[in-house]
Amino acid sequence: MSIDPAKPVQRFEDLRGILRYVPQFRQRVFVINIDGAVMKLPGFAALLQDVAVLQSLNIEVVLVFGARCQIQDLANSRGVTLSNDDGMGRTDAATMNVAIEAITRQASELMADLTALELPVVISSALAVHPAGVIDGVDQEFTGRIERVDVESLQTLLKADILPIVMPLGYDGRGVTLRLNSDAVAMELAVALNAAKIIFVSESGLFTEAGGRIAQLSVAGARDIFKKRDPRHDVNMLSKLRYGAMACQEGVPRVHIVDGTQDEALLAELFSNEGVGTMIHADDYQQIRKASPSDVGTLLSMMEQSMDDAALVPRSREQLQSKIADFFVLELDGNPIGCVAVHCFEEPDKSSPLAELACLFVRRSHKNKGHAQKLVTFAEETARQKGCHRLFALSTQAFRFFEEKAGFAVSDPQALPPARREQYERSGRNSKVLVKDLKA
Ligand SMILES: CC(C)(COP(=O)(O)OP(=O)(O)OC[C@H]1O[C@@H](n2cnc3c(N)ncnc32)[C@H](O)[C@@H]1OP(=O)(O)O)[C@@H](O)C(=O)NCCC(=O)NCCS
């Protein structure tokens, strides 16, 4: 989704999609950590343009980078054996020498590339560090530990629209240069700056055993993968999961891991509902809320395909608008991904009204995560609160879901309130009738 400044915007829908998110991100800090391997890719120039897009939207970007690849390359060309090449263990003097050279070169190249994009940029040494000391009996030598972040100096830069680059290096009180893990740097910066996000632009994505993308992870889930040291995930990814989980625990609301080898990954992760990477989140950010008249357009466009496929009854804007008080929206991170409606039918000859669970829908991209079952439970509770002891649903294509996953039983049209039965017969949809008794 890189925007070529030489051309007018070609895809207006991209721009609209982006602008929807701008109010919530404006003047919020995003810490972006780019793997060294990604900086060597041909698509890196486009990635920096995407960083420039964020900056132009008044997002305050702090840039961090990793250097594993560059340190390895330089060590190979010099015949140096590294004490560690992932920034996570001991750093001996020879490794430190190579690291300083590789990292300062990368910083300088980044300065040059960003300056060419007319982004005001500085290399900031905003970290107070100490030697990591002796860990498990091993002197870590030139490996550093971050003690403090100079928040004031970084905020001064950000307020002046200057993008700070923070290297994975630090300088202690004795003037010694120490090597840092860039993921730890990103975490410390994000926590200190009260950032809205960390985005790790990694050399790979995070996948399940079956090869599917892991779209979301709770803090506990991320820590679990790190602790198990699952061999499917390399040390680079485990480090991101570890520091990403720590950042969330310390108050950073969202941490994203995107595959930097994918074109447009950064913007697509941030500015689309479904994302393309993995998001680690601290809180349960799902909520089911009452729909409001302003949701009508979103609900209609979300359900359009299912209405076309006749899985849902086609509803006009006016029909939806008139019944909007009965609708509930399931939101993920502020974005609607599902809905359900509960309509009540008073029956003069019955002791309690009947309720219909209608218009149950979950976006295709969020299927099979238990969202529909949550919506059904919510609808049952809503019906109960309205004094209903029985819930019914009409379904053409998801009746098995209601039977097998939601505890409904197949019934017949006689179970429907007379007004609804008449409508049912007129529709000719021949839906299955499903009912569930609600315990008080
Ligand atoms: C039907 C629908 C609501 C299910 O949403 P969901 O969030 O994916 O469902 P959940 O994650 O809660 O449940 C998934 C389980 O239900 C099963 N399931 C989903 N749709 C099903 C269907 N149409 N028939 C039978 N089983 C179904 C899945 O196989 C899965 O089973 P598993 O747990 O054994 O793997 C969703 O697919 C949808 O919106 N469909 C289009 C609209 C529709 O048909 N709505 C119902 C009309 S009222």
Neighbours of 180 (CB within 10 A): 25
**Contact yes or no for 87/65 (Cβ under 8 A):** no
pLDDT in tens, 356-387: 999 999 999 888 888 999 999 999 999 998 99
- Can you tell me the mean pLDDT for 180-201? 96
6 domain-assigned: no
Let me know if 388 is exposed, middle or buried by CB neighbors in 10 A (0-12, 13-18, 19+).
buried
Q: Is the CB of 367 under 6 A from ligand 1?
A: yes
Rounded CA separation 407/379 (Å)? 13
* Residues 247 and 327 reside in one and the same domain: no
pLDDT in tens, 72-103: 999 999 999 999 876 678 999 999 999 999 99
Measured by CA distance, the residue closest to atom 9 of ligand 1 is: 372
pLDDT, averaged across the chain:
91
2 domain-assigned: no
Range with the poorest average pLDDT among 8-17, 27-36, 88-97:
8-17
Q: Is the CB of 400 under 6 A from ligand 1?
A: yes
Report pLDDT for 45: 94
Range with the poorest average pLDDT among 9-23, 228-242, 306-320, 332-346:
9-23
User: Does position 54 have pLDDT exceeding 70, yes or no?
Assistant: yes
* Residues 373 and 299 reside in one and the same domain: yes
**Please, which pLDDT band fits residue 282 given cuts at 50, 70 and 90?**
confident
Report pLDDT for 216: 86
Rounded CA separation 22/271 (Å)? 9
331 domain-assigned: yes
Among 248, 417, 411, CA closest to 349: 417
Report pLDDT for 280: 93
326 domain-assigned: yes
User: Which of the two residues, 392 and 335, has the higher pLDDT score?
Assistant: 392
Q: Is the CB of 369 under 6 A from ligand 1?
A: yes
Rounded CA separation 79/73 (Å)? 10
Which of the listed residues 246, 262, 281 is the one where a domain comes to its end? 281
Q: Is the CB of 373 under 6 A from ligand 1?
A: yes
Cα(304) to centroid(ligand 1), Å: 17
Report pLDDT for 11: 58
DSSP annotation of 279 reads E
Q: Is the CB of 26 under 6 A from ligand 1?
A: no
Measured by CA distance, the residue closest to atom 34 of ligand 1 is: 405
Cα(237) to centroid(ligand 1), Å: 32
Cα 283 to the chain's mean position, in Å? 12
Range with the poorest average pLDDT among 39-43, 148-152, 188-192, 231-235:
231-235
**Please, which pLDDT band fits residue 395 given cuts at 50, 70 and 90?**
very high
Which of the listed residues 281, 298, 331 is the one where a domain comes to its end? 281
User: Does position 273 have pLDDT exceeding 70, yes or no?
Assistant: no
Q: Is the CB of 360 under 6 A from ligand 1?
A: yes
pTM for the structure as a whole: 0.62
Rounded CA separation 89/87 (Å)? 6
* Residues 247 and 306 reside in one and the same domain: no
User: Does position 51 have pLDDT exceeding 90, yes or no?
Assistant: yes
Domain count, the chain: 2
Cα(158) to centroid(ligand 1), Å: 46
* Residues 265 and 300 reside in one and the same domain: no
User: Does position 10 have pLDDT exceeding 60, yes or no?
Assistant: no
- Can you tell me the mean pLDDT for 224-238? 89
Measured by CA distance, the residue closest to atom 39 of ligand 1 is: 361
Measured by CA distance, the residue closest to atom 33 of ligand 1 is: 368
Report pLDDT for 332: 82
Q: Is the CB of 399 under 6 A from ligand 1?
A: no
Q: Is the CB of 362 under 6 A from ligand 1?
A: yes
Q: Of the spans 9-18, 149-158, 204-213, which averages the highest pLDDT?
A: 149-158
**Contact yes or no for 163/31 (Cβ under 8 A):** no
Q: Is the CB of 398 under 6 A from ligand 1?
A: yes
Q: Is the CB of 207 under 6 A from ligand 1?
A: no
* Residues 23 and 150 reside in one and the same domain: yes
* Residues 208 and 340 reside in one and the same domain: no
* Residues 221 and 359 reside in one and the same domain: no
Report pLDDT for 179: 96
User: Does position 5 have pLDDT exceeding 50, yes or no?
Assistant: no
349 domain-assigned: yes
Which of the listed residues 223, 257, 281 is the one where a domain comes to its end? 281
Which of 288, 326, 365, 367 maximizes ligand 1 atoms within 8 Å of its Cβ, making it the mutation to test the pocket? 367
Cα(333) to centroid(ligand 1), Å: 22
Alpha helix locations (H) across 117-234? Answer: 151-159, 182-192, 219-228
Beta bridge partners of 330: 288, 338
Q: Is the CB of 44 under 6 A from ligand 1?
A: no
* Residues 384 and 237 reside in one and the same domain: no
- Can you tell me the mean pLDDT for 389-415? 95
5 domain-assigned: no
**Please, which pLDDT band fits residue 251 given cuts at 50, 70 and 90?**
confident
Cα(398) to centroid(ligand 1), Å: 7
Cα(186) to centroid(ligand 1), Å: 39
* Residues 151 and 234 reside in one and the same domain: yes
| Ligand 1 closest atom vs CA 373 | 12
* Residues 232 and 294 reside in one and the same domain: no
- Can you tell me the mean pLDDT for 269-298? 85
7 domain-assigned: no
Beta bridge partners of 239: none
Structural domain that includes position 367: 286-437
**Please, which pLDDT band fits residue 283 given cuts at 50, 70 and 90?**
low
HSE, side-chain direction, 13 A CA sphere, residue 377: 8
Report pLDDT for 12: 62
| Ligand 1 closest atom vs CA 374 | 12
| Ligand 1 closest atom vs CA 405 | 16
pLDDT in tens, 317-332: 999 999 999 999 999 8
Report pLDDT for 334: 75
